[in-house]
Amino acid sequence: MSSRLDDELSRLVSAGVLRQYQADSIRDAADAEIDAALADPGRPHPQAAAQAAQAAQAAKAPGPAKPKAPPVEAHPNALVEVLGYIGGALLLGAVALLTLANWGEMGRAARVSTGTTAAVVLLGAAVVLALLRRREQLSSALASLGCCVAGFATYVAIEGETGQVAGVAVALALAAVGLWWLEGSSLLVATFGILAVGVLVITADVLTPDTGSAANSAGIAGTGFIIVAFVFAMLGLVRDQATSWSLAGAAMFSSSICWLVQERGEIMALAVGTAGPAALLVAYGRTRRPSYAVVGCAILLVIWPTSLYQLTDNMAGVAVGLVVASGVLLLAVLMLSRRRSNE
């Protein structure tokens, strides 16, 4: 071993740059390289050289770095959020009171200008907050109110059945743009409300003949709500899953109610009122989100007794059906719990 290397290692140890075991590792690696070179002068020995390089690199490397503390997430000002919600609600309430109190005395131009002004103010505030990238929840809430008011203003401007369809279309288009841009959960709720109104409007004004009855057209609305549930099930894959799938369950509940109104629609009501909760309970078993269990159980508690009573016209049949349903639910919970414990 070269005395120069030994002196240099001793100097680095004395200076505190290296520790003694690190210097010994470098010295051993150098000795191994020299021995290998003497044993076979014509062949390179990269392994010993690599060991020496690794030892030197480990010697120069600093000690383990301290883990950085996670950045503290700045919480938005809760007071400003609350004031924004209150301001939007007060504006909407003022428009509603002004419209209801003076609806008969207001001309068409005044009605349209009132609704349009409120929609522009709400949507403008939402756009400004979104562009400034501040308070996304408040921006989404204002946009939700603005979409609904814009749809109402469109209905007032056009009037009649055409105005109802156009108002739903305008509100739905604005809500879709808001969902694409802002991704707020409040916009999901607004979209659900708009779609629900759209299903009722299209069923009553477009698909139901003038001579038709509400009992016969309820099945059309029930089918429309099934489509709404499918839309929100798909939205749950790209947006807030808990809110989207809970609203999908609410749509299935609405469909079941419509099928209960439909003549001889009890079987379909039971089928829809079982499929929706079953999907929600499976989702609850996988994700443990309590909203799925709450919505699913609420649908079962309402749809099953009502449907069974309409089918059997007997309270004893309803009781037997509820016992069977509770047994199925308990069995499903047991199977899910056992599966989760095995995992």
Confidence of residue 336 (pLDDT cuts 50, 70, 90): low
Burial class (CB in 10 A: 0-12, 13-18, 19+), 191: buried
* Residue 309, pLDDT above cutoff 60: yes
In this model, does residue 179 exceed pLDDT 60? yes
Per residue in 256-289, pLDDT (tens digit) is: 998 888 877 888 888 898 888 888 888 887 887 8
Q: Where does the pLDDT of residue 65 fall: very low under 50, low under 70, confident under 90, or very high at 90 and above?
A: very low
Looking at residue 1, its pLDDT comes to 47
Report the alpha-carbon distance of residue 245 to residue 291 in Å, rounded. Answer: 9
Q: Name the residue with higher pLDDT: 272 or 13.
A: 272
210 secondary structure, DSSP code: T
What pLDDT score was predicted for residue 168? 92
Among the residue ranges 2-6, 11-15, 120-124, the one predicted with the least confidence is: 2-6
Residues of 47-64 as b/e, b for ≥16 C-beta within 10 angstroms?
A: ebbebbeebbeebeeeee
CA-CA distance, 239 to 181, in Å (whole number)? 11
Query: Using CB atoms within 10 A of its CB, is residue 300 exposed (0-12), middle (13-18) or buried (19+)?
Result: buried
Least confident of 106-115, 146-155, 184-193, 318-327: 318-327
- CB atoms inside a 10 Å sphere around CB 314: 11
pLDDT band with cut points at 50, 70 and 90 for residue 229: very high
Would you tell me how many other CB atoms lie within 10 Å of the CB of residue 73? Answer: 5
Asked if residue 177 has pLDDT above 70, the reply is: yes
Is the pLDDT at 322 greater than 60? The verdict is yes
**Could you give the angle at which helices 20-39 and 46-60 cross, rounded to 10 degrees?**
170
Q: What is the pLDDT of residue 70?
A: 46
Mean of pLDDT values over 111-133: 84
As a whole number of angstroms, the distance between CA 190 and CA 171 comes to 9
Which residues fall within 8 angstroms of residue 106, CB to CB, at 6 or more apart? 99, 114
Vertex 182, ends 181 and 186: CA angle to 5°? 135
Report, as an integer, the average pLDDT of 50-69: 50
Nearest to 33 by CA among 54, 48, 43: 48
Nearest-angstrom CA–CA distance, 199 and 59: 73
Quick check: 299 and 252 in contact, CB under 8 A?
yes
Name the most confidently modeled range: 177-181, 196-200, 291-295.
196-200
Instruction: For the chain, give the percent of residues with pLDDT over 70.
Output: 75
